[in-house]
Structure formats: C-alpha cells, structure tokens
A and B are shown apart, each in its own frame.
Chain A
C-alpha cells in the first residue's frame, strides 16, 4: 500500500475543480489510457491571468490528487507565473508523493505547459512533447522530457527517471540511452568511455582486478545457486577456474563459465579475457 500524505488523500477523496470547462480558453492534454494515466487540463485565461482551472483525470489516487492540486495552484496566477510552476512545486503542495508516483506531478506540469502553449498558439497540433526524440517507446517519452526531469529534480539513476517520467518502465531497451541522458544533464562525461578501464593493464593490475571481480560479483551469483568458483590460474588474458558446489556436474556449468564468468570479466576487466575450466 502506498504511503500517501493526508493532503494527497484529501485531494483524492474530495478533488477540487473536477470536470470539463465548456468555455475554456485553452486545454492541455497528456498521457493516454494505454499508459494508465491521462490528464486533461482546462484553463480560462483573461488578460494574461488564469481566472479558472478545471481537470479530468484517468489514473490512480496520486494522479487525481496532483491534478486537483494543480488547478488550485494555478488559479489567480499570471501565465508567466504559472509557467514557472515545476513538478516539484506540485509535489510540495501535496506534502510530498511516494517517489514511484512522482510522474503524476510531472504529468501535471506537462499538462499546464501544453495548455499555455495552446493559448499562445504554439504548436497546437501536437501539444505533447513535440520537441526532441522519443527515447522510451513504451511510454512515448522524449529526450527533452528526461533531461528536464533530471535537471529539475536532481535525478541520479535510471530508476529515478522511471519514477518521474515513466521512461524505461516498460521493455527496458532504452536504459542505456537514459543513462547517457542522465550523464549529459548532470554535466558528467558519457559513461561509455569510463565503464571499461584504460586498455593497457599491467599483469599485476589485471590479476588484481580479476580476483576482485570474481570475489565480489561472480562468486555471490553462483553461491545463490548453491555453486561456487575458485580461481586456479591467470596467465596473461587466460583465466583458469574450477567450479565447486552445485556447479559441479551442473548441466549449465559450461554456460556459466563461458556465459556468465567470461562475460563479466570481459565487461569489467579486459575484453580480451578467455576463461577455461580446469
């Protein structure tokens, strides 16, 4: 069960400003029924001031609460002031949201932006994320949205990005791209260059790293299956190991040696490594 704040509960149980606004100046729509939540925000703008706001939301309690809070938040604000509202502001007036639910606040902020864009006559045809390239095909999330969410909320991990934007929450194919975007937004170097150590390892360095990776990453995995592994020898890039415990005679032992052990060592230490069982 989610831990919702009392304010979230109140907005969910007694949402404010529900319904279609017939004489709305502009409408912002985000989400879709396939993705599990959608918000339609109606604004009435007079002389650059938001006089009224209503919403219709399909989604969970926090989506409904975020929409309700958003309408209260924007009423009386000028368009310029409203544009400064971030997803964080929405989450804050709600007394916080569970982090898995932060995308509800992002949805609110995006609907607001879409409505105001429509009012300004910008890009009305595709109010949604017209900028940028789709990164997550499952949920239709663009690189712009991800970069914005990372910057706005100081996100650090792919999981964070999924909580805030839903990107990466489906088939997971885009996880590498998301990692690169996080690095880009945070002003860090692209991760691909750093993941693998510089080419020329000395024999000693390589041996130490192999031992380390075996001990910290590979053995615990095998031990989960009741197996174990022992390092027999390292000769240049040839690593000799012997399998122990359940791995002995396990039909998957060849797959373990060449698949798991070799793959991890190649990935973490040196792409030249070959592993053999002795």
Chain B
C-alpha cells in the first residue's frame, strides 16, 4: 500500500511529528534505562520523563502530579470511570451520552449489563448538541459519575464541558471528560475548568500510538486500575513507556505552539473544504453544529450514495478519509453518532469525515474539492435513487430498526 497523497483522516490517527520522532529515538537505543533504578543511567531518564510530564501539564494547565501516563485513551477512560465507581461503592448510576466513543460507550453498556449499574445515555439534537436540562434532570443522589466527551470524533461537535462540570459539582457528582479529540485543537486550562478527570491519547496529537494520559485532580478519591509497582505513585503500575512518554511530552509542547495555527489556518482550510464541497455537490449536508465544532473536522453527507464506495474511489486518487456508513464499519447500521442526531438514512449512509491537521495544505484541500464532486456524480449515475425522488423502491418495506 503506497502512502496516501492527501491524508485527511487525522481524527483516526496522526503522523508522528518529525521533532517528536527525533526526541523519542534515543530512548529506544542508548538511553534505555529504567527510571525507577537507583543508578544515574536510569535516573536520568526519569528526569527527562518529569520534563515531559511538565510539558503535558503546561498544555492542559494542570500540575504535574495530576497526570497519570497510560497506554491509550481507552485505558484512560476505563480507569477514570471504574475509579469513580470503586471510590463511591454506594452510588450505582452513570450519566453519559449516546454519541461517546466506544471506549466509554461499550464500557458503560458492559457495566449496565453485567454489573447492574444504571446508565443514562443522553441524546443529542439534530446538530449533535446536548440538552443541559436533560443532564440536570438525569442526576440523582445515586449518580457516581458523568462522563461526557469534550469533542465528538465523528462530527467534531464540542460539548459545553465547563457548564457540565458546574452542573455535576452542584449535584456532588464527579465529572470525567474524554478529551481525546480536543487536546491540541482547543484551548484547555484545567486550573479554571472544574473537571475531575480528563482522558487524552498521544496518537491523536502527533505522538505515537500506545501512549495516553489521564488527568486526575488533586485530592479526588482515586482507585487504580492496574495494581503492581509504585510507578505513577502507585496510580498506574507497570514500567513506564519512557520512549512514548518523552514523545507525548514533545508532542504536547509542539501542540501548544500550534494551537493558534490550528484555530486559524487549519480552521480556514477546513472551512474552505467544507464550503466548496457543499456548494459543488447538490443534496449534500453538513453533519454537526456549524460553529460549536473542532477546527479540523468536517462531516459531510452526500444523498443517494454510499460512503464505502466514495472512500474507495477517493482512495484510488490517494485521498484518505473515513465514513460513518454501515459498510465501512462491518456492522450493518450507519454510525451511532449520526443515528443519535437523527440524520435521515438517505444521508447517513453517504457520510464522509474529513479531519485535517497542521500538516494539511491548501493544495490538499484543492485536490479534494476538484476530485470529490465527480466521484459523487459517478456514483449517483449508478444509484437507482435520483434527485427529487424520495424512495423509488417500495417504501412500505420495513425500515432498519436502527
């Protein structure tokens, strides 16, 4: 498989920044010491690790002892939610949303099914936004934790985390946010934002895969997930992934420098891509709120065509993107996020997500704008559904129950 020419799938994963790769490489080879060792060969690695922790703390606006390094975003999410439940054994209720990443959603379903917890899954409106009244009404004295993603991975829609945290704490409920898609793309200052726990993942911000972190506010009751050695002050046992921790620190430092660029240049490119495609392709629509959104994400649906077919034709041209269609996921139903938003089936199967990064160029965007409309045109010629016709094939047929 040759390398894609135009990579617009940065919400799936990002390339490791060259500076990050350079920073991490020595820790694979000559600097292999264990930071827990008594000798200076290992201890020196520990010192670098502290610096990496400081860089990440600076990006998040928190203290270094509030950061626990983990193996990935999923581990951070699992640790946070299970910790909140274990620390408050009398509380048996969880509040989350229908549009969470599986790292949270599948865990909540598991806890509900096999451990008897009660879970409230908050819905979203047509633009993917939560209703704060619904949140307030769902809280009970039995609620242990609210877990709401900062930004949605499929649509980029941003949730009002500050307000959710305020509501949570006014009810004495812990608040966790899966900020995997938000870190490095939106300004985060945990000194001013009252969330208790925050998950992030390295490979979404130009660090390698296999490293994540969990922010846990000081004095928050916490129960570790991995039990073993004293690493991370006993909060996450297991020899530190020093190489990747150094990488995540470096990536955090660079992300902080690029935050403005992400919200100006990258945002402008995204807007250009989005506006041009919506203008060029009739019967296309934007999924997700136009403004309350990550600067790098555009989720667009093309009526009457199917996402996997679009992706494969894009792939032929070296364009990498992703889709919320059923066929791409291997399941038979389109994305749970689009379904929760009530996106009509005529559109849901034809959704394409473009996610940009600081490496995206204007030429990349122009290339997609030039090549995508003819692809949609080609597939619409093959499709039995045509503009203006609602559903030429018997509409009495049972619709999917999704």
Evaluate contact between A169 and B333: CB separation under 8 angstroms: yes
Complex Cα–Cα for A35 and B392 (A): 14
Instruction: Say yes or no for B384: interface residue by CB 8 A criterion.
Output: yes
User: Residues of A contacting B402 with CB < 8 Å?
Assistant: 138, 170-171
How near does chain A come to B35, taking the closest CB pair, in angstroms? 26
The verdict on A139 contacting B400 (CB below 8 Å), with A38-B393, A60-B306, A169-B332 known, is yes
Complex Cα–Cα for A224 and B333 (A): 29
Instruction: State which of A2, A56, A249, A256 has its C-beta within 8 Å of the C-beta of B384.
Output: A56
Q: What are 25 A-B pairs with beta-carbon distances under 8 A?
A: A13-B313, A33-B304, A33-B349, A34-B345, A35-B399, A36-B306, A36-B349, A36-B400, A40-B392, A59-B327, A64-B382, A101-B327, A128-B397, A137-B398, A138-B398, A138-B400, A138-B401, A139-B400, A140-B398, A170-B332, A171-B402, A221-B114, A252-B116, A254-B116, A256-B115
Complex Cα–Cα for A165 and B328 (A): 17
Over the window 37-55 of chain B, the binary record of Cβ atoms lying under 8 Å from chain A Cβ atoms (1 yes, 0 no) is: 0000000000000000000
Tell me the dominant secondary structure on chain B's binding face: loop
- Nearest residue, chain B, Cβ from A59: B306
User: Residues of B contacting A137 with CB < 8 Å?
Assistant: 398, 401
User: Residues of B contacting A169 with CB < 8 Å?
Assistant: 331-333
Instruction: State which of B89, B392, B393 has its C-beta within 8 Å of the C-beta of A250.
Output: B89
> Chain B interface (Cβ within 8 Å of chain A)?
85-86, 89-92, 114-117, 227, 304-309, 312-313, 316, 325-328, 330-334, 345-346, 349, 381-385, 391-395, 397-402
The verdict on A40 contacting B393 (CB below 8 Å), with A60-B306, A260-B114 known, is yes
Instruction: State which of B117, B331, B345, B384 has its C-beta within 8 Å of the C-beta of A40.
Output: B384
Instruction: State which of A33, A56, A59, A259 has its C-beta within 8 Å of the C-beta of B346.
Output: A33
How near does chain A come to B329, taking the closest CB pair, in angstroms? 10
Evaluate contact between B385 and A36: CB separation under 8 angstroms: no
User: Residues of B contacting A33 with CB < 8 Å?
Assistant: 304, 345-346, 349, 385, 391, 393
Complex Cα–Cα for A151 and B92 (A): 48
Known pairs A33-B393, A36-B306. 6 more at Cβ < 8 A?
A32-B394, A35-B400, A38-B384, A58-B304, A58-B306, A162-B332
User: Residues of B contacting A23 with CB < 8 Å?
Assistant: none
- Nearest residue, chain B, Cβ from A227: B115
Evaluate contact between B400 and A56: CB separation under 8 angstroms: no
